[in-house]
Amino acid sequence: MAEDPGSGSGGRRPGAHWFVFFGLAAVIVVLDQVTKAILVANLDPGQSVAVIGDWVRLVFSQNSGALFGMFHDQAILFALASIGVVGLIVYFHGQSGRSLYLSIALGLLLGGALGNMIDRVRLGYVVDFVDIGIGSFRWYTFNVADAAISTALVMLFALALVPSLARMAERPSGG
């Protein structure tokens, strides 16, 4: 028999933190696109500007591949794959229950995926610009979307090691 919509918790089972999930994703997309627009307006492709000596530089890089610059000239393929990934992230968030931790991790992942997907569809490449390293020892050039994706992956890896993280700030199940 169906539950009375007016009983208990108002007929709604508390679920995932959708506002946090979509809100964080939107913030990441906006920050990503704004920082890229500022960079593109002020630097030419390949141009570099020192921020903290040689340690941190801004470099206008056009990444036509994915995964740290691998698989060059496959932007359209990765844009199409990104649509599927975005769908999976949203679906998984809906299945993730009441975990604020997962909503944050998946919101970062969604925002990063959307930020880079927008570049691939609009430009045919992803704008990367943060260059960190010492001398010739450099990390891969990245952007805000990449940083959000990396943070999300670290959070998900930590969750695999410490499953109790998923219960941090979990919504009560109601009664």
Q: Are 126 and 63 in contact (CB under 8 A)?
A: yes
The one catalytic residue in 32, 119, 128, 131 is 128
Does residue 119 carry a catalytic annotation? no
Tell me the C-alpha distance between 111 and 21, whole Å.
9
Tokens linked to 12: 């709604």
Does residue 4 carry a catalytic annotation? no
Tell me the C-alpha distance between 142 and 3, whole Å.
50
- How far is residue 164 CA from its own chain's centroid? 23
The one catalytic residue in 32, 119, 131, 146 is 146
Q: Are 127 and 143 in contact (CB under 8 A)?
A: yes
Q: Which helix (H) or strand (E) holds 21?
A: helix 18-42
- How far is residue 148 CA from its own chain's centroid? 4
Tell me the C-alpha distance between 32 and 169, whole Å.
27
Residues annotated as part of the active site:
128, 146
